[in-house]
């Protein structure tokens, strides 16, 4: 399993614990949102570092968002090798220290993505 699979599984467990009916699709949507935010942040950093303008506009953001949403929804909802049961088996086989480390890294990733994804646009906006 890859990084985003564990993130998907942990988000699913969180939503499922509240008896959320759409926990699987909600989790896939959150993963797609994080991936879109990461790509947009990367484009903004590129534009800042190389003093480029114009790569990022509304249609590009919408297309990226839709691509990641559709891809992740298909990947996690319709593909059997990414089912919750398989992910749970892989997760339960991990040692407790590995689970704790993975959970902490995923939390750090989420926080860093949000801070950078919101902080860089604010910085660019204040710079103008």
Mean pLDDT in the chain? Answer: 89
- Nearest CA-CA partner of 29 in 8, 10, 59: 8
Q: How confident is the model at residue 95 (pLDDT cuts 50, 70, 90)?
A: very high
Is 90 exceeded by the pLDDT of residue 108? Answer: yes
Is 70 exceeded by the pLDDT of residue 1? Answer: no
Is 70 exceeded by the pLDDT of residue 128? Answer: no
Q: What is the pLDDT of residue 49?
A: 86
- Note down the domain range covering 51: 3-127
Q: What is the pLDDT of residue 93?
A: 92
Is 80 exceeded by the pLDDT of residue 81? Answer: no
- Nearest CA-CA partner of 108 in 3, 2, 1, 36: 3
The reported pTM is 0.87
Torsion angle, CA of 113/121/28/65, rounded to 10 degrees?
Answer: -140
The DSSP 8-state label assigned to residue 77 in this structure reads: I
pLDDT digits (tens, 9 = 90+) for 23-78: 888 999 999 999 999 999 998 888 888 887 777 888 989 999 999 999 999 999 88
Number of domains in the chain: 1
Is 80 exceeded by the pLDDT of residue 105? Answer: yes
């Amino acid at each position: 399993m890859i990084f985003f699979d564990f993130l998907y599984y942990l988000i699913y467990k969180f939503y499922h614990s509240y008896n959320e009916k759409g926990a699987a699709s909600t989790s896939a949507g959150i993963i797609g949102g994080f991936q879109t935010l990461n790509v947009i942040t990367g484009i903004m950093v590129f534009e800042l570092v190389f003093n480029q303008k114009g790569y990022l506009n509304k249609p590009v953001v919408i297309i990226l968002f839709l691509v990641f949403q559709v891809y992740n929804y298909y990947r996690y909802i319709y593909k059997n090798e990414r089912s919750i049961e398989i992910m749970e088996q892989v997760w339960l086989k991990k040692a407790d220290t590995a689970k704790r480390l993975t959970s902490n890294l995923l939390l750090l990733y989420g926080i860093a993505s949000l801070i950078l994804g919101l902080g860089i646009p604010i910085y660019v906006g204040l710079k103008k």
